[in-house]
Amino acid sequence: MMTPLAINWSHVWMVTGLGFCMVIALLVVLIFILKLLGAVVSSAVKAPKAEQPKAAAQAPAAQAAPAAAQASADDDLAAIAMALHLYFNGVHDVEPTEIHIKRVERSGWNSKLYGMNNLHR
């Protein structure tokens, strides 16, 4: 005769709840660690600012933003101009239009005939 297993449901729910709470707690700790690491890395990446003359320090920050945008636009235009120059002056790769197929002899390394499931040799 088969006897059913005696299951103590209070222990089952306690272990389940404890495991769930542990996962949530570790995720919260991981979030705090990642935020702290992000703050440390971002502060380390920032370049130290050199001392600026007083006239430049008193200038509004709104004037510095268009200069940075203009420098970025100039860099983009220079990259596009260089790419066009290289393309039209023939400094790009010439790919052959022929396809060559090389026959390879079958060996144990590249043949499915000698697979691990093939036990009849």
Query: What string of DSSP letters covers 12-31?
Result: HHHHHHHHHHHHHHHHHHHH
- In a 13 Å sphere around the CA of 77, the CA atoms on its Cβ side amount to 6
Question: Domain span at residue 23?
Answer: 14-43
Q: Which of residues 17 and 59 earns the better pLDDT score?
A: 17
The confidence band for 108, taking pLDDT boundaries of 50, 70 and 90, is low
For the segment 81-103, the average pLDDT, to the nearest whole number, is 77
In a domain, 83, yes or no: no
Indicate if the pLDDT at residue 16 is higher than 70.
yes
Q: What is the pLDDT of residues 31-88, one digit of tens each?
A: 999 999 998 888 887 756 655 555 555 555 555 567 667 777 888 888 899 888 888 8
Q: How many CA atoms lie within 13 A of 32 on its CB side?
A: 5
Please report whether residue 68 resides in a domain: no
**Domains of the chain: total:** 1
CB atoms < 10 A from the CB of 59, how many? 12
